């Protein structure tokens, strides 16, 4: 049985990924700074600091597959914390790549979609499009990607880069800086204002979290010619369209439009053609995904 470790296992994607992997024929290890209070039976939890060299080495040394989900910044705070990101995240990930390449492990690195590509006239955006990061979060991811490309020139089983578009669904927490759908649904439920920056015409490629984790697991066994994949639906949806879908569930929800932010790209849709050519998979439609998430939150509330 293969051993799989998720670095950053307490995060939105990491936690959902661990739950999904439990259903596969693998042994699952979740690594993070703390062990969560809501532990899931069957998962092996490891408490440790990703930025401690000895701890990191010990955590991954006997594992077969590594999912790298650790990042200390997000798009919203990257202008304040960028030196932290370059000094910590970048350097430690280079060390991790060295470990992986020297010990013949498989690794999937969670990169970013829209923030690495920047403003593009031609959409959906393909993986071979030039990258032009719009903030230090995207710049950090590209720095790491370039290091991975260099390592991949010398190893047979490539480290995989997963450029994820805009995930949403169970386990997300918009208060940490990302997640329009999460914020909209939770504020609609609580009766609070749903804040929209601009006129609601901003378009994103929203992908349900269950699709994300299934595709990440598929990529962990990929051994073809590519090392970079968009993990996306290839379909764009505006914020106003999201709100219209939510109105069927919450007709009295309150929407507050505020001044647009200069950090928000008008449109980002990622092509998933490359991934779909390797993996015959049907995505959850955005309407169905929103319905599933609304029902999930209702059940949580009781």
Q: Based on the fold, state whether residues 115 and 242 are members of the same structural domain.
A: no
Q: Can you give the residue range of the structural domain that contains 293? A: 169-204+235-301
Q: Based on the fold, state whether residues 11 and 160 are members of the same structural domain.
A: yes
Integer Cα distance of 224 and 200 in angstroms: 40
Please give the torsion angle defined by the CA atoms of residues 232, 236, 237 and 238, in that order, rounded to the nearest 10 degrees. Answer: 120
Q: Based on the fold, state whether residues 10 and 121 are members of the same structural domain.
A: yes
Q: Based on the fold, state whether residues 258 and 157 are members of the same structural domain.
A: no
Q: Based on the fold, state whether residues 123 and 198 are members of the same structural domain.
A: no
Q: Based on the fold, state whether residues 219 and 285 are members of the same structural domain.
A: no
- In this structure, the number of other CB atoms found within 10 A of the CB of residue 166 comes to 20
Q: Based on the fold, state whether residues 56 and 90 are members of the same structural domain.
A: yes
Tell me the residue length of the chain: 302
Q: Based on the fold, state whether residues 47 and 92 are members of the same structural domain.
A: yes
Q: Based on the fold, state whether residues 182 and 160 are members of the same structural domain.
A: no
- CATH number where 138 lies: 3.40.50.720
Q: Based on the fold, state whether residues 182 and 92 are members of the same structural domain.
A: no
pLDDT tens across the length of the chain (302 residues): 999 999 999 999 999 999 999 999 999 999 999 999 999 999 999 999 999 999 999 999 999 999 999 999 988 888 899 999 999 999 999 999 999 999 989 999 999 988 999 999 999 999 999 999 989 999 999 999 999 999 999 988 899 999 999 999 999 999 888 899 999 999 999 999 999 999 999 999 999 999 999 999 999 999 999 999 999 999 999 999 999 999 999 999 999 999 998 778 899 999 999 999 999 899 999 999 999 999 999 888 76
Q: Based on the fold, state whether residues 218 and 290 are members of the same structural domain.
A: no
- CATH number where 179 lies: 3.90.25.10
CB under 8 Å to 9, separation ≥6 — which residues? 15, 17, 18, 29, 30, 31, 32, 43, 45, 69
The whole-model pTM stands at 0.96
Q: Based on the fold, state whether residues 161 and 176 are members of the same structural domain.
A: no
Integer Cα distance of 174 and 78 in angstroms: 16
Closest CA to 98 of 160, 150, 43: 150
């Amino acid at each position: 049985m293969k051993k799989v470790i998720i670095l950053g296992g307490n995060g939105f994607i990491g936690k959902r990924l661990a739950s999904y992997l439990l259903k596969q024929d693998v042994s699952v290890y979740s690594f993070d700074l703390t062990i969560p209070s809501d532990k899931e039976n069957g998962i092996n939890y490891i408490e440790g600091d990703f930025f401690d060299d000895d701890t990191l080495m010990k955590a991954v040394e006997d594992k077969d597959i590594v999912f790298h989900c650790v990042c200390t910044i997000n798009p919203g705070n990257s202008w304040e914390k960028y030196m932290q990101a370059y000094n910590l995240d970048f350097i430690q990930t280079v060390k991790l790549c060295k470990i992986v390449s020297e010990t013949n492990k498989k690794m999937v690195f969670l990169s970013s979609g829209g923030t690495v590509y920047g403003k593009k006239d031609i959409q959906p955006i393909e993986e071979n499009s030039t990258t032009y990061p719009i903030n230090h979060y995207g710049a950090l991811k590209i720095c790491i990607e370039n290091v991975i490309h260099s390592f991949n020139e010398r190893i047979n089983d490539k480290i995989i880069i997963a450029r994820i578009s805009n995930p949403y669904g169970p386990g997300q927490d918009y208060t940490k800086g990302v997640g329009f759908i999460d914020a909209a649904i939770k504020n609609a439920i609580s009766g609070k204002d749903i804040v929209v920056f601009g006129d609601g015409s901003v378009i994103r490629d929203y992908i349900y979290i269950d699709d994300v984790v299934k595709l990440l697991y598929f990529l962990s066994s990929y051994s073809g010619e590519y090392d970079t994949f968009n993990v996306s639906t290839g379909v764009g949806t505006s914020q106003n369209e999201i709100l219209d879908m939510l109105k069927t569930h919450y007709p009295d929800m309150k929407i507050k439009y505020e001044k647009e932010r200069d950090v928000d790209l008008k449109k980002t849709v990622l092509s998933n053609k490359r991934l779909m050519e390797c993996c015959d998979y049907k995505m959850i439609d955005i309407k169905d995904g929103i319905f599933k998430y609304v029902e999930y939150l209702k059940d949580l509330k009781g």
